[in-house]
Amino acid sequence: MSFLFEHKSQTIFVSASTVHENGKKRKIVIESRPTFAIVKRQGSRECFPIAWEMIYEVAKLRHAENLRLEAEAEAEKTSRPRKRKPTN
């Protein structure tokens, strides 16, 4: 009897977002592997492997930045004096 210790499947995501490079717009493709992901443009041979841990760290940083920007926008919105409508 044999066992498969490592999960060998992969999932491919094709995003709706496009990247404009070298005069062409192409969709972003992410290939999921057990320990890393591969990011590339559709139809391109150039690929960028990135560890899942790094993707998580980038997501954490972006989330913190988004929360900060939302708080700033809310503070700016509440600190603005309201303009009164002129009465005729």
pLDDT tens for each residue of 22-72: 888 999 999 998 899 999 999 888 999 999 999 999 999 999 999 999 999
Identify which has the larger pLDDT, 51 or 5: 51
Question: Taking the domains of the chain in order of start, what are their residue ranges?
Answer: 11-79
Residue with the two structure tokens 């005069």? 23
d(CA 64, CA 78): 21
d(CA 25, CA 31): 19
d(CA 26, CA 80): 42
Q: 62 near 70, Cβ under 8 Å?
A: no
Question: From the CB of residue 41, how many other CB atoms can be counted at a distance below 10 Å?
Answer: 20
Residue 26 has what pLDDT? Answer: 93
Token readout for 26 is 């192409």
Residue 2 has pLDDT above 60, yes or no: no
Identify which has the larger pLDDT, 17 or 3: 17
